[in-house]
Amino acid sequence: PLGGWWGFASLSLADYKIPGPKGDDKEVELGAVLWIFMDEYQRR
């Protein structure tokens, strides 16, 4: 890969719901972001 910062994201729906402001059930979305720094690849 190219050198620099790389970001990876993942989203998934939870297996439960929470009550919304009007009392109706709302789905919950779970997410994560992973940032890594890659040094430039050095060919030999």
Residue 16's pLDDT is: 98
Residue 44's pLDDT is: 78
Residue 43's pLDDT is: 80
pTM listed for this prediction = 0.59
Residue 39, strand partner residues: none
For residue 19, the 8-state DSSP code is: E
Q: Domain limits of the chain?
A: 4-38
Q: Compute CA 31 distance to the chain's CA centroid, rounded to the nearest angstrom.
A: 4
Task: Tell me the residue type at 11.
Answer: L
Tens-digit pLDDT profile for residues 1-44: 689 999 999 999 999 999 999 999 999 999 999 999 999 888 87
Residue 42's pLDDT is: 81
CA distance 12 to 26: 14
